[in-house]
């Protein structure tokens, strides 16, 4: 219904939810027991929302005192909560939310900074990895898979995978089948490798 906008207040560097109909803006200043001036000096961007549904529920990531991005969910009345986050994660971000708010998508980093696409359910308390494409499906080795958008009915998830050798990005999709998400490539065998090599050669020579 286009009633809500969510993102970042660039001046303050904090997540915000804007009610377009009323003009009300809710800003989420969360300092995690760190002095405000000191925190902004070392980390001016505290966090951002990346998506909001028609109920005004937003999801994103928040940089806390450990300087690591943690996945968050918030409502326009000022209630902010963390999504599931493992101590083994080097960072995590939520990027999409279904209309009913029951399914959230995004990714997390491991200690080698490789990303895994995932979904959060049960009010963000349960995290499940999305199926990783096999070499037969994607045709190249990959270390980075991210989910960035989910349909309102939660049946389709869009994201991307990155070729570990060339750096090319390929669009990916997961679709709900028999109660589980199944990976589906959108590339049809066409990748951005040619363009990557072209620019690489241009700058090298």
Dihedral of alpha carbons 111, 93, 75, 151, sign: negative
Q: Residue 204 and residue 175: Cα distance in Å, rounded?
A: 41
Mean pLDDT of 90-97: 95
In this structure, of 19-28, 106-115, 122-131, 193-202, the range with the lowest mean pLDDT score is 193-202
pTM across the whole model? 0.82
Picking from 179, 30, 174, 18, the residue whose alpha carbon sits closest to that of residue 105 is: 174
Percentage of the chain beyond pLDDT 70 is 77
Parallel/antiparallel/unpaired status of strands 104-109 and 115-121: antiparallel
Q: Judge whether 19 and 55 are in contact, CB under 8 Å.
A: no
Q: Residue 147 and residue 94: Cα distance in Å, rounded?
A: 9
Count the Cβ atoms, other than its own, within 10 Å of residue 39: 19
């Amino acid at each position: 219904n286009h009633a809500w906008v969510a993102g970042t207040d660039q001046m303050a560097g904090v997540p915000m939810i804007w009610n377009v109909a009323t003009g009300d803006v809710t800003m989420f200043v969360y300092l995690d027991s760190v002095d405000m001036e000191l925190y902004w000096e070392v980390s001016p961007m505290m966090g951002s929302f990346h998506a909001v549904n028609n109920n005004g529920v937003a999801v994103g990531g928040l940089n806390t005192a450990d300087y690591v991005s943690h996945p968050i969910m918030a409502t326009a009345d000022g209630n902010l909560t963390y999504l599931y986050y493992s101590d083994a994660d080097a960072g995590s971000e939520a990027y999409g939310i279904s209309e009913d708010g029951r399914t959230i998508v995004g990714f997390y980093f491991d200690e080698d900074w490789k990303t895994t696409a995932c979904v959060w359910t049960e009010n963000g308390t349960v995290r499940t990895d999305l199926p990783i494409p096999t070499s037969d499906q994607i045709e190249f080795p990959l270390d980075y898979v991210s989910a960035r958008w989910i349909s309102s009915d939660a049946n389709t998830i869009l994201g991307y995978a990155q070729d570990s050798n060339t750096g090319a990005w390929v669009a990916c999709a997961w679709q709900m089948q028999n109660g589980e998400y199944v990976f589906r490539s959108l590339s049809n065998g066409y990748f951005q490798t040619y363009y990557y090599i072209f620019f690489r050669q241009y700058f090298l020579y």
